Amino acid sequence: MLKDKKLSAYAPSATRIRARFVAISWRDLAVSFGPIILLILIGAWLVIWLIRPAPPSSITIAAGPKDSNFWRVAERYKALLARDGIRLDIVETGGSLDNLKRLADPDQNVDVGFVQGGLAGAVPAESLSPLVSLGSISYVPVSVYYRVPPPREDGRPVPPLRQLSELAGKRIAIGGEGSGSSVLAATLLKANGVESGGSTQLLNIGGDEAAQALTSGKIDAAFLMGDSVSVATMGKLLRAPGIRLLDFSQADAYVRRFRYLNTLKMPMGVFDLAHNLPARDTQLIAPTAELVAREDLHPALSDLLIAAAREVHGKANVMQKAGEFPAPLEHEYPISDDAARYYKSGKTFFYRTLPFWMASLVDRAVVIVLPVILLLIPGIRLVPMLYGWRVRSRIYRWYGELIALERGLSRESPEEQAEMLKRLDEIEIAVNRMKMPLAFADQFYVLREHIGFVRARLAAGVV
C-alpha cells in the first residue's frame, strides 16, 4: 500500500496525460520560426537600406535667363511633370555655364540643368565626376550676326563674311557672364586668332541687350545662342536691315577640331518663305544641349524627365528631324545607367500601366518582397526540421539521464541506489508534465517504457 501511495505521487491519470498532448507546440514552433523571421527582417532591412528611397515630390532645374529658349523649355517640362504630381522648380541663371557650375557645386540646391556642349573644360574636372547626362535634347546653333559694312568707295558691296577670322578688329558681343555662348565664342574666336586686345573688343553682353546693341550700331557682331536669347529676338535680327547671319564656310573643319560640334544646314527661306529668309543656304555649327543631372537623381524622376524631353523635343523643326531628340549621345558627360535603360526599353511595366505614385509604391514593394520570398521559401522548408529537432531534444535529454542511472547500477551501494530510484521518480514526474505534440506521442510512450525498464532494474538492485 505504501508503494502504491508513493507511485500515485508521480503516476498521472489518463486524463492528465491526455492534457499533456497538443496538436502543435506553439512555443517550439515560435522558437523554430524565430531564426527565419530574424533572417527575413535583416534581409528586408538591408534591401530598404540599399535601394533608393521613394522619389521626391519636387526637383529643381537650372534653366537660363528668363524668356530664353532654355527657360521656355523648362516651363514646358514643369507642366508635363505636374501631370504626375511632381513639382519642378525653375531657377533663373546666367546660362549654360552657370547651370554647369551650380550642378557641380554640392551646396547648390539643383538636381538637373540644361548644359550646352563645349563647357566641361571651364570647371574643375573633379567636380564633374558626380554628373551624368540624361541625353542630348536639341541642337544649339552658333548664330553669329554681324553688321554689313558700308559699300566700298566705288560703290561695290562688301562681300559677306564667311570666316570668324574676319571679325578681328571689331567689337564683338560674345554673351553674358555665365552663359555657354561666352565660353564657346571665346574658344572659337581664339582658334581663329581673334582675341581681346587692340581694336578687337570681346564684350560680355548677350541676349536682347546684345541684339539691341547690334541694331543700334554700338557693336559690330554678336554671338547669340539658345541659352541666352529668345527665338523671337533671333527672328527680328534676320529681318533687320543691315544685319546678316554668318555662313560658316569652314563648318566641316570645326566639327573635326571640336568633337562636341555638329554641322547644320539652314535652307534658304526656311524661316520666312515670303521674304526668303535667310536669303541663301547657310551653314551653321552647333553643339547639342544636354540634360545634365547629378548621379543621385532618382530613377523614376530620370524616366519622367526623359519622357518630358521626348514630348517637347521629339518633333521636327527647321533644325532637326522628328524623333532625332532626345538621344543618348555621349559627349563630355557619361550617359546615366537609368537613362541608358530607358532609351533601350522605355518605362518599366508598372510605370507604363499605373499612375506614377502607385507605380512608385509597387516598384519599391516588389524590390522588398522578392528578397523576402527568396529567404522565406528555404526557411519554410527548414522550419519542420528545426521544430522536430527541438521537440526530440527534450526527449533525448531524459535519455541521457536514464543512461547515467543505468550505468551506475553495478557500482553503487543500496543506499545510493535508493537515491537513484528517487531521482528516477523525479525524471518520470518531469516527463509526464511535458507538453508533447501528438505527432511525437509514440516517442513519448517509448520514453515512458524505458523509464519503466530502468525502474525495474533499479528495484531489482535495491532488493
- Do 323 and 135 meet the contact criterion of CB atoms below 8 Å apart? no
In the structure, what pLDDT confidence band is assigned to residue 208 with cuts at 50, 70 and 90?
A: confident
Task: Quote the DSSP letter at residue 94.
Answer: S
How many whole angstroms separate alpha carbon 163 and alpha carbon 251?
10
pLDDT > 70? residue 364? no
φ/ψ (deg, to 5) at 139: -85, 150
How many whole angstroms separate alpha carbon 63 and alpha carbon 112?
9
How many whole angstroms separate alpha carbon 314 and alpha carbon 326?
7
List the single range of 118-127, 205-214, 262-271, 427-436 with lowest mean pLDDT. Answer: 427-436
Write down the pLDDT at residue 89: 97
pLDDT > 50? residue 458? yes
Strand partners, 430: none
**pLDDT digit string, tens, across residues 404-447:** 777 766 555 667 777 888 888 888 888 887 777 777 788 888 88
Q: How many CB atoms lie within 10 A of CB 358?
A: 12
**pLDDT digit string, tens, across residues 306-340:** 999 999 999 988 788 899 999 998 888 999 988 99
Q: CA-CA distances (angstroms) from residue 221 to 141, 174, 203, 225, 232?
A: 16, 9, 10, 13, 18
- Segment 101-110 mean pLDDT: 94
How many whole angstroms separate alpha carbon 87 and alpha carbon 181?
29
Write down the pLDDT at residue 30: 64
- Please, what is the average pLDDT of the chain? 82
Write down the pLDDT at residue 65: 84
Cell numbers representing residue 187 in the block: 574658344
Q: How many CB atoms lie within 10 A of CB 30?
A: 11
Range with top average pLDDT, 14-18, 73-77, 173-177: 73-77
Among residues 288, 329, 9, 284, the alpha carbon closest in space to that of 140 is found at 288
How many whole angstroms separate alpha carbon 399 and alpha carbon 301?
65
pLDDT > 80? residue 2? no
**pLDDT digit string, tens, across residues 281-297:** 899 999 999 999 999 99
Better pLDDT: 219 or 364: 219
List the single range of 80-89, 197-206, 308-317, 351-360 with lowest mean pLDDT. Answer: 351-360
Write down the pLDDT at residue 461: 60
Query: Does the bond joining 159 to the residue before it have cis omega, within 30 degrees of 0?
Result: no
How many whole angstroms separate alpha carbon 421 and alpha carbon 433?
19
How many whole angstroms separate alpha carbon 269 and alpha carbon 286?
20
- Which amino acid is residue 446, in one-letter code? V
List the single range of 59-73, 228-242, 402-416, 423-437 with lowest mean pLDDT. Answer: 402-416
Cα 68–chain centre separation: 29
- Do 77 and 308 meet the contact criterion of CB atoms below 8 Å apart? yes
Write down the pLDDT at residue 10: 43
Strands 131-139 and 87-91: unpaired
- Do 247 and 147 meet the contact criterion of CB atoms below 8 Å apart? no
In percent, the amount of the chain with pLDDT more than 70 equals 81
Q: In the chain, where are the structural domains located?
A: 2-45+367-462
In the structure, what pLDDT confidence band is assigned to residue 389 with cuts at 50, 70 and 90?
A: confident
- Do 128 and 286 meet the contact criterion of CB atoms below 8 Å apart? no
**pLDDT digit string, tens, across residues 168-191:** 999 999 988 878 888 999 999 999
- Do 268 and 280 meet the contact criterion of CB atoms below 8 Å apart? yes
